Amino acid sequence: MKENKILLVDGMALLFRAFYATAMSNYYMINSKGMPTNAVYGFVKHLFTATKNYEPSHVVCCWDMGSTTFRTEMFPEYKANRGEPPVELVPQFDLVKEVVDSLDIPNVGLAGYEADDCIGTLASKYSEHSEVIILTGDQDILQLLKDNVTVSLLKKGYGNYAEYQHETFVKEKGITPAQMIDLKALMGDSSDNYPGVKGIGEKTALKLLTEYETIEGILDNLPKLTKGQRAKIENELEMLHLSRKLAAIYCGVDVDCSLDDAILEINRERMMEKFNELEFKRLESLLS
């Protein structure tokens, strides 16, 4: 029997990327009903290009379910630097899930968690018996790399990916995927709006992790650090530990999706009914 190949799609990453690819030139693909569809159209194009490229047996699409999560409860400033989504994108959040449903692809998400957490949870379950490919534009997901889990990062255009397996990541980055969590805890993440240890940048964080492997290893060897490094870490111990909790993808979300429900079998008639309703042209040709 052919081994399952499961494509886990970071729906939010694809949708935002597709939106901004055309929104920068004020092109929103507003149809005759007044509905902007540029993000959904581009999302489907990314999705179909990936299924053609990777030929998965199963596909699952994961979503954020609102901006309030367990991370914002721990640290209210988490992602607080991000403005409200553009008005042209807002109606496409629900619309894209309708389109995914019309393709008979499961939509998975749970309030209080991010899409990353759902992806991590499902990848952990599926990789025990199947090959898993995660399609995203978010480098944070690289921490999930392990045997049977590949991360495919979207690059500019369609069908261009930076693919990572555990070994290629270690070779390129010089640390393990799991050490990415401690790296972000030390240096912080400006896009997610948490500081880590003030004054510790990527170069220093990588050097410390290469030498001492983990945050615990660094803390056990504080006397060996430079006076400046030690002072910075000791002054920010609470934030260091909090940042690590924020950086770690949680893989114990109460979500599941049976592989029977995730088999990639698109009903073209149902798909075309939805595409015609939205006035999408030429997308179906990407499936042939």
Apex CA 122: angle with CA 264 and CA 269, to 5°?
20
* pLDDT tens digit sequence for 63-104: 999 889 999 999 999 999 998 899 999 999 999 999 999 999
CATH number reported for the structural domain that contains residue 88 in this entry:
3.40.50.1010
pTM for the full predicted model: 0.95
Q: What's the confidence (pLDDT) of residue 259?
A: 96
Length of the chain: 288
CATH number reported for the structural domain that contains residue 228 in this entry:
1.10.150.20
Q: Quick one: 187 and 118 in the same domain?
A: no
Q: Quick one: 149 and 32 in the same domain?
A: yes
* pLDDT tens digit sequence for 147-177: 999 999 999 989 999 999 999 999 999 999 9
Q: Quick one: 237 and 108 in the same domain?
A: no
The mean pLDDT of 171-191, rounded to a whole number, is 96
The mean pLDDT of 195-210, rounded to a whole number, is 95
Task: Round the average pLDDT of the chain to a whole number and report it.
Answer: 95
DSSP state of 283: G
Q: What share of the chain is helix, strand, coil (3-state, %, to 5)?
A: 50, 15, 40
Structural domain span for residue 211 = 179-247
Q: Quick one: 231 and 153 in the same domain?
A: no
Q: What's the confidence (pLDDT) of residue 119?
A: 98
Q: Quick one: 17 and 132 in the same domain?
A: yes
How far apart (Å, rounded) are the C-alpha atoms in residues 19 and 2?
36
Q: Quick one: 241 and 257 in the same domain?
A: no
Query: What proportion of the chain, given as a percentage, has pLDDT over 90?
Result: 93
Q: Quick one: 127 and 203 in the same domain?
A: no
Task: Classify the C-alpha dihedral 145-146-147-148 as positive or negative.
Answer: negative
- Residue 16 belongs to what H/E stretch? helix 11-23
Query: Has residue 2 got a pLDDT over 60?
Result: no
Q: Quick one: 70 and 158 in the same domain?
A: yes
* pLDDT tens digit sequence for 217-275: 999 999 999 999 999 999 999 999 999 999 999 999 999 999 999 999 999 999 999 99
Tokens in use for 269? 């008639």
Query: Has residue 190 got a pLDDT over 70?
Result: yes
CB 44 within 8 A of CB 280: yes
Q: Quick one: 166 and 210 in the same domain?
A: no
How many domains are there within the chain? 2
Of the two residues 288 and 156, the one the predictor is more confident about is 156
Q: What's the confidence (pLDDT) of residue 283?
A: 86
Question: What is the band of 1 on the pLDDT scale with cuts at 50, 70, 90?
Answer: very low
Cβ partners under 8 Å of residue 166, min gap 6 = 145, 146, 147, 149, 176, 177
Q: Quick one: 110 and 204 in the same domain?
A: no
Q: Quick one: 63 and 116 in the same domain?
A: yes
